[in-house]
Amino acid sequence: MSRTLALLAIVVCLAGCASTPPLTDHDPKADFSRLASYGWLQADPVAATQSADDQVSPLNRQRIADAIEQQLAAGGFRKAAEGTTPDFLVSFAVGVRQRTEVSTAPETRVWFGYWGWPYHMGADVDVRQYDEPRLAVDVYDGTSRKPIWHGESRAPLYLGRPEQARAAIPAVVKSIVVQFPPKVGAASVTPAR
């Protein structure tokens, strides 16, 4: 019975983590009502965001860039014409943060020795390390290049599994970008560190 309850608790916790909404933050002084056209912060967002220790393939980077452009178009924004200054610039970053989870539970096994005294009592300690994926989308003012909006998700991207990545990337990007621009009067939410 206690094993079933423990398993149920784990399933509920994992389901809660999977449905964690994206975090957003914005500059409350920015005028989002004037934004209509966008461009990329880097000339080539796929190549420019790679580093020597990057484990995200160029194909997945292209999928992310395409999904961002698709969601911006669905939101009514258009890509700025070549040679013009866009109203805002977009960039993205993909990373993995290693997390450690420690949990304890009282040990239910108790043995009694020869004289009736407890032989063993204690607690089970479980230490689990896992990778937490992160996708961040940032928006900058097109003229000043100052950051005006940030959106971040910890939803799984399945970057090492192409079939799942093709389905997950557009959904995760959509969950972030549909929150741009922020609603007028919306309170800023501090992103996770």
pLDDT of residue 129: 77
Cα distances (Å, whole numbers) of residue 122 to 17, 26, 105, 118, 157: 29, 48, 9, 11, 39
Identity (one letter) of the amino acid at 183? K
Average pLDDT over residues 122-137: 76
Cα–Cα distance measured from residue 86 to residue 38, given in angstroms and rounded to the nearest whole number: 5
Exposure b/e, 42-72, CB count within 10 A at least 16 = b: eeebbeebeeeeeebeeebbebbbebbbebb
Average pLDDT, the chain: 78
Q: Is 87:181 a contact under the CB 8 Å cutoff?
A: no
SS (H, E, C) 59-118: HHHHHHHHHHHHHHHHCCCEECCCCCCCCEEEEEEEEEEEEEEEEEEECCCCCECCCCCE
**Residue pLDDT, tens place only, 141-181:** 999 999 999 999 988 888 788 899 899 999 999 999 999 99
Give the class (CATH, top level) of 23-177: alpha beta
Residue 103, strand partner residues: 126
Q: What is the pTM of this model?
A: 0.69
Pairing of strands 78-79, 23-26: unpaired
Please count the CA atoms within 13 angstroms of the CA of 56 that sit on its side-chain side. 24
**Residue pLDDT, tens place only, 15-68:** 444 457 899 999 999 999 999 999 999 877 766 555 544 567 888 889 999 999
CB-count burial class (<10 Å; 0-12, 13-18, 19+) for 87: buried
